[in-house]
Structure 1
């Protein structure tokens, strides 16, 4: 990204202040009578020059401020995502340990696979398939304190949900934050584009802090029949509660 030349900008500010104060800054001045048309025209040109310089300095300051807000929004979104990823990793580890504990406590078939009794009294394998009684060994017993199929399925689904959540969080990094950072670093955006990226990043930060997965906008693939190459697909994410 092109950086503003601080020294040149400060010189412009100094020149502007000097001109507005009536001090010479090396430019030719005409000390003519205020009724002289040539003098009046020169003053008009100088006034316009001062006005244009002031407007340019204001635009530069606003542009720099917009970029500063974008960088702050990037940092905030990255911090919120990093925290969410860490929490997800810790939760995934806890849920995996809980599922392992349930599986270890389950009754076993001769081949070592776990078997669970469901609430309806049927026996089921880890995939939820109902096991035929005539296919089970007569010696198989299910202890009273053995985990039920419902307990196992709940722990399994919670772990799956946590892993899916981790994948969606990773998508935010690769499909939202990284592209936004590339655009900001390029430094070739209009003020409206800068504001749009800043607002998008603020939305991501707010969603993550509230424990939600923000929607991810993905560029739509172009085709010969497509007339709008800027169309976007919004991919909402729906995940089971992990509480």
Structure 2
């Protein structure tokens, strides 16, 4: 059992391209509270708390450098999408963190290795462990390597169809369907800019801009979806 765990830790180190000086930090990052309840030790909640702050800082740094002309609201929207549970769980799955988690027997039987919340928390805990073990630069390198491809591919970041995702969330959370209204169209015919606002009932949930009305609606839907995620 110990050898298997050591192999799992070595595999994680290989995938993040970093070797820990203090492997206890890595082990802690991959230990769920249900395991501690049964076997003792430290769970990863402490590291997950710190990792959340480390990730926000490093992503803010990345976005400021990558999009020097963007405004605060735009950067906040992108960062929120990057740290969404779905995005973090996807990255954790790419690193195969699920196979390396230490879980209690009940959580194991309940499919804990595939649960998005556990995977997302484990990734944040791993990032905190990396920072505590090696400092800011190893953590920065990992964040840049894992998140920069998402910035090159908006459909991965926000989902292929933001309007469909919003409709599903709105129906579930508000029992309403979104309504799109064209606010304005500006610019010459060869370079038009459409601004669309989106409503749930009488509440304006967001605004989007695009070269076509469809593109503007997708942008508005992404903004509204981020608001609704805070209610789920």
Q: What TM-score do you get using the length of structure 1 for normalisation? A: 0.19
Q: Looking at both structures, which has the greater relative contact order when contacts are Cα pairs under 8 Å and sequence separation is at least 6? A: 1
Q: If the length of structure 2 is used for normalisation, what is the TM-score?
A: 0.20
Bigger Rg, structure 1 or 2: 1
